[in-house]
Amino acid sequence: TVIASASEGLYSTISALVHPGDEVIYFEPSFDSYGPIVRLQGATPVPIKLSLADFRVNWGEVAAAITPKTRMIIINTPHNPTATVFDEADIARLKALTRNTDIVILADEVYEHVVFDGAKHQSMACHSELAERSVIVSSFGKSYHVTGWRVGYCLAPAELMNEIRKVHQFMVFSADTPMQYAFVDALANRESYLGLSAFYQRKRDLLAHGLRESRFELLPSAGSFFMLARFRGFSDETDSDFVLRLIRDARVATIPLSAFYSDGTDSGLIRLSFSKDDATLIEGARRLCEI
Ligand SMILES: Cc1ncc(COP(=O)(O)O)c(C=O)c1O
């Protein structure tokens, strides 16, 4: 189904499939809409924190959090905001944990075409056992640098999609027609999306190079167009205060990682985006080196 942005797809999917009393597991730090959409259905969000050491999923904690009320697990690979990606081991654990259950996987794969260093994107669509219980949501906004055009796509087995379309129809009826024609043309050129990993990997490396003499500790970025930077080594400010100071003093806008937690966890990290032209990245890095 062509959807009016991934945001719409996430909302339509969760409101079609999650009901009062259900529990939905997802991982924090997380994209900001998951928890509120679950709460709006009268269901209970069950956020599990990614390990602070490497921001990977602790599957033992997921196993412990699953109850008979668990209706859905939301995953996001490549991950916003931590730039981690699922590997084969994550897929194996996800298969084992959901086998013989009614749990639906909502896979937010909006950065599916932005995976670095030769790694392979682990789409739910590539694993038949997971595909049959998954709803995949993706976004043309990310693949074509047009976040304002608001078109995406949603894949799911027919019985799940029938329910999702009931919400989609009464919420937006359809995605914007002129934009759909535009994407049909754009998709004819496969390089436009198959070349994205190389496009963003170069920008990631440009930003990291520009920051090599800074006081920030950069965390690895394996996918998406984000990178986390640790400032705790040289400042005890809260991450929000630190971000405000960067905006005021350096005129560089970043996001405090605490904004991606429902309990405001602050580990002294900020999220940088390298979805910018080269000149902006070079100048932004130069200014951050002065902090
Ligand atoms: C992980 C994730 N999911 C969903 C979205 C929403 O995408 P869209 O702009 O298509 O609504 C974003 C946008 O930032 C995102 O980072």
Q: Whose CA is nearest to atom 7 of ligand 1?
A: 6
Q: Which two tokens stand for residue 251?
A: 């005129």
Judge if the beta carbon of residue 110 lies within 6 A of ligand 1: yes
The domain 2-187 is classified under which CATH number: 3.40.50.740, 3.10.20.30, 3.40.640.10, 1.20.1090.10? 3.40.640.10
pLDDT for position 145: 87
Instruction: Give the distance (Å) from ligand 1 centre to CA of residue 254.
Output: 17
Options 3.30.70.380, 3.90.1150.10, 3.10.20.30, 3.80.10.10; CATH for 195-289 is 3.90.1150.10
Q: Where do the domains of the chain lie?
A: 2-187, 195-289
Pocket of ligand 1 contains residue 112 by CB under 6 Å: no
CA of 110 to the centre of ligand 1 (A): 6
Give the mean pLDDT of the chain: 97
Looking at residues 127-153, what average pLDDT do you find? 95
pLDDT tens digits, residue range 233-290?
Answer: 999 999 999 999 999 999 999 999 999 999 999 999 999 999 999 999 999 999 999 9
Position 205 pLDDT exceeds 90: yes
Average pLDDT over residues 65-85: 98
